[in-house]
Amino acid sequence: MTADLFACLPKVRASREQMAEGAVLLRGFIGESEADLIATLREIVAAAPFRRMFTPGGHQMSVSMTNCGSAGWVTDRSGYRYDPVDPETGKPWPAMPPVLRELADRAAEAAGFSGFAPEVCLINRYVPGAKMSLHQDKDELDFGAPIVSVSLGLPAIFMFGGLKRSDKPRRFRLEHGDVAVWGGPSRLFYHGVAPLAEGDHPVMGPQRLNLTFRKIR
């Protein structure tokens, strides 16, 4: 992360945009929690650094990632799973700080999902050219809870499809501070991120961070 993480940006008025049934995009939602959120992320990354993981097929992901919460999402030759221990440090993942949990709770409530209690937060780091192919979030045991996804840094094109991989996805431009929430009939919709374009964000520098909150049990 760059040294100017605490630079101030003009305040953005939050707005709501429907992506699909059960899926909402909350524009500019992080608001005044921005500075605390970014400072907290720096502490998490210091304890559990970003790394590029390998899929079971041996492909190295273009995004680098880390986690916080009661477990972390990991992938390697043995498969996709949630693990309470960081395989690189041999220690538990950092606990989920209150500022992250409270943001996820507020966003879920604003999207119509009350009582969200996230257990894990996946933190993905995109640099120009990095992408996320269309996929479903289905490694969790509880599909009744929504997914809450927070965008920081460079803008990205979020692709949100349907229950089949072949369903044509809609494309949404995600800006710094936007939060996407999907659950209910949209919980298992395919989604992904197009290759990140070059740029230099005034707060985050030449990168995008994506925080994904989930209930896994």
Is the residue at 161 inside a domain?
A: yes
Asked whether residue 67 is assigned to any structural domain, the reply reads yes
Domain membership of residue 13 (yes or no) is: no
Q: What is the mean pLDDT of the chain?
A: 93
Nearest to 99 by CA among 47, 137, 42, 144: 42
**Is residue 124 included in any domain, yes or no?**
yes
The pLDDT value recorded for residue 1 is: 46
- Supply the pTM of this predicted model: 0.93
Over residues 19-30, the pLDDT tens digits come to 999 999 999 999
Give me the percent of the chain exceeding a pLDDT of 90: 92
What's the pLDDT at 142?
84
**Stretch 151-172: mean pLDDT:** 98
Q: Which domain holds residue 88?
A: 23-214
Residue 46: beta bridge partners? Answer: none
pLDDT 10s digits, 86-111: 999 999 999 999 999 999 999 999 99
Residue 12: C-alpha distances to residues 30, 35, 59, 211 (Å) = 9, 14, 38, 19
Mean pLDDT value of segment 186-206: 98
Number of structural domains (the chain) is: 1
Read off the pLDDT of residues 31-52 as tens digits, 9 standing for 90 and up: 888 999 999 999 999 999 999 9
Residue 8 lies in a domain: no
Q: At what angle do helices 98-110 and 34-47 cross, to 10 degrees?
A: 130
2 belongs to a structural domain: no
* pLDDT the model gives residue 144: 96
Q: Can you tell me the mean pLDDT for 161-174?
A: 98
Distance CA 97, CA 44 (A): 9
Instruction: Tell me whether residue 171 is in a domain.
Output: yes
Question: What does the pLDDT average to over 182-198?
Answer: 98
Q: What is the mean pLDDT of residues 58-76?
A: 97
Residue 108 counted as domain residue:
yes
Residue 152's domain is classified under what CATH number? Answer: 2.60.120.590
